[in-house]
Amino acid sequence: MTTYHFLQLYWWAIVSLLGAVLVFLTFVQGGQTLLWGTAKNEDEKRILLTIFGHKWELTFTTLVTFGGAAFASFPLFYSTSFGGAYWLWILILLSFVIQSFSYEFRSKERNLLGKKTYETFLMINGIVGTILLGVAVATFISGGNYAMDKMNITTGSSNIISYWTNNYRGLELIFKPFNLLLGVVVFLAARTLGLLFTFNQCSKMEGDAAKNLADRALSKVKVTGTGFVLFFVAFVVCLFLTTGYRVDTASDSFNGINGPIVAEKYAYLHNMLNQWWIAAIFLVGVVLVLAALIRTMFKEKSSFYLTGLGVVMAVFAILLTVGFADMAYFHSLYDINSSLTLYNSSSSLYTLRTMAWVSLAVPFVILYIAYVWRKMTQK
């Protein structure tokens, strides 16, 4: 393995970890969906807005960090997906933008839009935002309608390397059953984690409003958590039965960057089985989620952090499986040999090496986030 390819794998792992953490942090969006149905009065809504209002920035900044890391390490993916599937990503970003000011302005006196409007914005972010985020992640597996020609920038005919081949600009991706399935899984994961966090925090508070919220959250976990597990199992089955696309590195035409893309039945299942350490991460994550949910449902003890760790591990393992072992992690539905791989979509060796040194500061950033999290939760 060359240094360049090692750094490509390293940065795919970093991006995958950021994606996994982002899915976990959508518990804030899941908590927002409790404003209607779970919270019965203004006091209970105020409690929800307080406990999640201290955390919403973490989700937003992680989304931006995920996009920034993808841009820096795999710029061709960034330009193809974010630029081609334009409307899909714009809808996701808009749902987060309307969230950002809703916490601040909902309770302002004499606000023009009224409390109900800002609650609606938070519900849109909690439901639409999480589903569309799952749809966007699913394109790593289901692909996109684009074509790529790097020679465009050398001939002078065009400065566009990759371009979308239809006028829907990503809207068509929302209606693919596989993409929607993962969207529902992300939504149910976010709502389950939101319920667990609500139960975790309200159990420590005094007063009837907090107690009522804790009781309702515990009751709803039994339904939402079960739904999350069932839909997740359905997604994993579909993933393992899906045909994947891989670079034929054994081909004489493979030059270390480009090569023929070949279809492979059950490619993601093969990847998981052939890389035991990824399979171990995935299985441990699944076991943690199941154990934590069972503990919450039957022993009525909070398992928010245990569930969150399991979600991070399971999503991290899936994203590693999608990109490792010469996979085309975002294949083209228009021209299979235009598909993006770690070989042909990454930044230069100099850029990846420089960023690798910078990434050594990540543990300190994580410690700072943990410190801020603890302080905000205590307050």
Q: What is the pLDDT of residue 152?
A: 64
C-alpha triplet 31, 131, 142: angle, nearest 5°: 150
Q: Which of 29-43, 99-113, 132-146, 255-269 has the weakest average pLDDT? A: 99-113
In whole angstroms, give the CA distance from residue 255 to residue 270. 25
Are 149 and 132 in contact by the 8 Å Cβ rule? The answer is no
Q: Which of the four pLDDT bands, split at 50, 70 and 90, describes residue 220?
A: very high
Compute, in degrees rounded to 10, the torsion defined by CA atoms 64, 199, 299, 287.
-10
Q: Which of 154-163, 189-198, 202-211, 261-270 has the weakest average pLDDT? A: 154-163
Q: Which of the four pLDDT bands, split at 50, 70 and 90, describes residue 298?
A: confident
Q: What is the pLDDT of residue 166?
A: 87
Q: What is the pLDDT of residue 257?
A: 84
Helix axes 177-202, 130-142, angle to 10 degrees: 140
In the chain, the amino acid numbered 274 is: N
In whole angstroms, give the CA distance from residue 317 to residue 280. 9
Residue 99, Cβ neighbours under 10 Å: how many? 23
Q: Torsions phi, psi of 66, nearest 5?
A: -60, -45
- Domain borders along the chain are 3-378
- DSSP labels for 23-76? HHHTHHHHHHGGGTTT--SHHHHHHHHHHHHTTHHHHHHHHHHHHHHHHHH-HH
Structure token pair of residue 190: 């976010």
Contact partners, residue 28, CB within 8 Å, separation at least 6 = 52, 55, 56, 58, 59, 194
Half-sphere exposure of 204 (CA within 13 A, CB side): 10
Helix (H, G, I), strand (E, B) or coil at 310: helix
Mean pLDDT across 195-219: 90
Residue pLDDT, tens place only, 12-65: 999 999 999 999 999 999 999 999 888 888 899 999 998 898 888 888 888 888
Higher-pLDDT residue of 150 and 84 is 84
In the chain, the amino acid numbered 327 is: M
- DSSP labels for 321-366? HHHSTTBEEE-BSS-GGG-EEHHHHS--HHHHHHHHHHGGGHHHHH
Q: Which of 104-113, 205-214, 302-311, 333-342 has the weakest average pLDDT? A: 104-113
Are 106 and 120 in contact by the 8 Å Cβ rule? The answer is no
* pLDDT at position 378 over 70: no
Q: What is the pLDDT of residue 379?
A: 61
In whole angstroms, give the CA distance from residue 10 to residue 358. 13
Q: What is the pLDDT of residue 158?
A: 59
- Rounded to a whole number of angstroms, the CA Rg of the chain reads 22
Question: Could you tell me the sign of the dihedral formed by the alpha carbons of 263, 265, 267, 268, in that order?
Answer: positive
Q: Which of the four pLDDT bands, split at 50, 70 and 90, describes residue 290?
A: very high
Are 225 and 297 in contact by the 8 Å Cβ rule? The answer is yes
Which range is most confident: 38-42, 68-72, 309-313?
309-313
* pLDDT at position 279 over 70: yes
Beta bridge partners of 234: none
Q: Which of the four pLDDT bands, split at 50, 70 and 90, describes residue 206?
A: confident
In whole angstroms, give the CA distance from residue 126 to residue 316. 22
Residue pLDDT, tens place only, 27-38: 999 999 999 888
* pLDDT at position 153 over 80: no
Question: Could you tell me the sign of the dihedral formed by the alpha carbons of 168, 324, 60, 184, in that order?
Answer: positive
Q: What is the pLDDT of residue 141?
A: 95
> Is this prediction's pTM over 0.85?
yes
In the chain, the amino acid numbered 342 is: L
* pLDDT at position 156 over 60: no
Half-sphere exposure of 284 (CA within 13 A, CB side): 12
Question: Alpha carbon of 35 to those of 32, 199, 356: distances in Å?
Answer: 6, 14, 42
Q: Which of the four pLDDT bands, split at 50, 70 and 90, describes residue 124?
A: very high
Nearest CA-CA partner of 77 in 322, 361, 350, 374: 322
**The tokens 């228009």 sit on which residue?**
334
Nearest CA-CA partner of 80 in 15, 172, 165: 165
Q: What is the pLDDT of residue 224?
A: 95
Mean pLDDT across 263-275: 94
